[in-house]
Chain A
Amino acid sequence: MVGVPAYLDHASTAVLHPTARAALLAAIDEGWADPARLYRDARQARMLLDAARETVAGVIGARPDEVSFTASGTQAAQLALLGAARARRRAGSRILVSAVEHSCVLHAAEWHEHAGGLVGTIGVDRFGRVDPVSFTPPPDTAVASLQHANHEVATIQPVAAAADVLHATGVPLHVDAAMSLGRIPVDVTALGADLLSASAHKFGGPAGVGILVVRTGRRWVNPLPADEREGGRVAGFPNVAGIVATAAALHARASEIITEGPRLAGYVERLRARLPELIADVELLGDPDPAGRLPHLLTFSCLYVDGESLLHELDRAGIAVSSGSSCTSDTLTPSHVLAAMGALTQGNIRVSFGRESGSADVDALLAVLPDAVARIRERAGAAGL
């Protein structure tokens, strides 16, 4: 259960879906044994694991043998990107990434660069969106990586168009679907994804499970020591109970998208309309067209406001959100996504809704935020500037 009166940070982690919770508890009892062994309890664990794989594959339009489970979304993205780069070493050593990828993708690219590889970074427009033509790969490109939707500003990327550009010269595309899976339809074929990664805790599954998809026929070599688990793609004993709960969460979320999407989009629309009326000099970020963004997430920046103070003011009022402002990061640098967009970074707040969110949460935020911003501006001597 969520202890915060207004938990508005579902993009950091979603609350465990009740269906996933029930599946997790059952699978801890029923799926405890080693699924690679040959006795009754082991076969039961194997059955649970296979069923979960089929469920996840079905939701995203993949074959079950294309789906592997990792220990996190980060691990899935690392394996996808570095495994494809390793398999295509003879084609070249370049990895293309958008400038607004999740840090796990950028860290994998940096790691590749430190190991002697090349990295090309694709810039974005003011909404945080890439131009698919900019994914035209230099001849030495091994693989490219593009998120389905941005984790900070909700912008949906033109993934299928970028895939077409890459495939024209045979370069595979890794799609990071961590933010979109369970929020909008995700179909590996429609996206043109050769590899795909996602994270269970983002859509109401448990922490500790990631999803790695390697499409049939795509070259991929494990960049780490391998064993026989997960088709040789992910070494180590699988988290069967977590995987079962992941499949349950994804199945439930997929059937809820059609009602949840519009409901949460309504909250975002209300904020987009009201915030500029209630707060001077607030800059709404991301695509103003609802068709170009995820339904459940809104990010904005407030001029002359220290983001850390704003987080604390909201926390005191029982409102949980996140921020991309420099003062809220360990490195004291602003979010690389905001930087790539050329957006205002001060007083930055990301609000993200989930299935537990209600209009009372929007009411709470709208009641607290304008005064909080005004108080901080007053303290800084910035009122009326």
Chain B
Amino acid sequence: MTNNINNINKTDNTDDIHWDMAAFTVDARGRRCPLPIIELARRIGELDLAATLVLWADDPAADLDVPAWCRMRAQELVATRALPTGGTAYLVRRLT
């Protein structure tokens, strides 16, 4: 499921973190481990190199497994922030 990034209620507007530059959002809320990571892995290939996507997930394991996946796949976890409706948004950049 893909949502427009503008739907995110932004809580972080620091200059160096460009949430609004993400190409698309993957909404994995309500999906249990390891499905959010599988969704992330499926969709990262749609990005150009150096482009970003946003993953929404509310499974507690995602807080650990998104950074671990980025480390194992040499992708970059740029930032995270809490979603106002619960769960977390992860800004991920494709590096490889």
B64 and A385 form a contact (CB under 8 A): no
Secondary structure class of chain A's binding surface, majority of residues? loop
**A368, B14: Cα distance in complex, Å:** 49
Contact among B32, B34, B42, B69 with A347 in the assembled complex (CB-CB below 8 Å): B34
Evaluate whether A334 and B41 lie within 8 angstroms (CB atoms) in the complex, with A327-B33, A342-B68, A344-B69 already known: no
Secondary structure class of chain B's binding surface, majority of residues? helix
**A97, B7: Cα distance in complex, Å:** 42
**A344, B33: Cα distance in complex, Å:** 11
**A304, B64: Cα distance in complex, Å:** 13
A380 and B38 form a contact (CB under 8 A): yes
Closest to B67 in A: A342
**A283, B61: Cα distance in complex, Å:** 16
Q: Give chain A residues whose Cβ lies under 8 Å from the Cβ of B42.
A: 381, 385
Total chain A interface residues with beta-carbon distance under 8 A? 26
Task: Encode A306-349 as 1/0 by CB contact (under 8 A) with B.
Answer: 11000000000000000001110000111000110011111100
- The verdict on B37 contacting chain A, using a C-beta distance below 8 Å, is yes
Closest to A341 in B: B64
Closest to A343 in B: B68
B34 and A380 form a contact (CB under 8 A): yes
**A344, B72: Cα distance in complex, Å:** 9
- The verdict on B35 contacting chain A, using a C-beta distance below 8 Å, is yes
A325 and B72 form a contact (CB under 8 A): no
Evaluate whether A345 and B65 lie within 8 angstroms (CB atoms) in the complex, with A327-B32, A333-B60 already known: yes
B64 and A338 form a contact (CB under 8 A): yes
Q: Give chain A residues whose Cβ lies under 8 Å from the Cβ of B65.
A: 344-346
**A381, B34: Cα distance in complex, Å:** 11
Closest to B36 in A: A346
Contact among A333, A339, A343, A382 with B41 in the assembled complex (CB-CB below 8 Å): A382
Evaluate whether A334 and B38 lie within 8 angstroms (CB atoms) in the complex, with A283-B72, A346-B33 already known: no
Q: Give chain A residues whose Cβ lies under 8 Å from the Cβ of B76.
A: none
- The verdict on B20 contacting chain A, using a C-beta distance below 8 Å, is no
**A307, B35: Cα distance in complex, Å:** 12
* B40 CB to nearest chain A CB (Å): 9
Q: Give chain A residues whose Cβ lies under 8 Å from the Cβ of B67.
A: 342
Within 8 A of B (CB), among A265-315: 281, 283, 301, 303-307
Contact among B35, B59, B60, B61 with A380 in the assembled complex (CB-CB below 8 Å): B35
A345 and B64 form a contact (CB under 8 A): yes
* A281 CB to nearest chain B CB (Å): 7
Closest to A334 in B: B61
Q: Give chain B residues whose Cβ lies under 8 Å from the Cβ of A343.
A: 64, 68
**A238, B67: Cα distance in complex, Å:** 49
Q: Give chain A residues whose Cβ lies under 8 Å from the Cβ of B38.
A: 304, 380-382, 385
Contact among A325, A342, A385 with B33 in the assembled complex (CB-CB below 8 Å): A325
B64 and A305 form a contact (CB under 8 A): no
**A306, B38: Cα distance in complex, Å:** 11
* A368 CB to nearest chain B CB (Å): 20
Task: Encode B51-71 as 1/0 by CB contact (under 8 A) with A.
Answer: 000000001110111011100
Closest to A301 in B: B68
Closest to B64 in A: A345
- Most A-side CB within 10 Å, residue of B37, B59, B61, B63: B61
Closest to B60 in A: A333
Contact among A304, A333, A342 with B37 in the assembled complex (CB-CB below 8 Å): A304
Closest to B45 in A: A385
- Most A-side CB within 10 Å, residue of B32, B60, B67, B72: B60
Other than the given A303-B72, A333-B61, 7 more pairs (CB < 8 A) read A304-B41, A326-B32, A327-B33, A333-B60, A334-B33, A338-B64, A345-B61
Shortest 4 CB-CB contacts between residues of A and residues of B: A344-B68, A346-B34, A385-B41, A326-B61
> Please, could you name 25 A-B residue pairs with CB atoms under 8 Å apart, sorted by A?
A283-B72, A301-B68, A303-B37, A304-B37, A305-B34, A306-B32, A307-B33, A326-B33, A326-B60, A332-B60, A334-B60, A338-B64, A339-B63, A339-B64, A342-B67, A344-B72, A345-B61, A345-B64, A346-B33, A347-B34, A381-B42, A382-B41, A385-B38, A385-B41, A385-B42
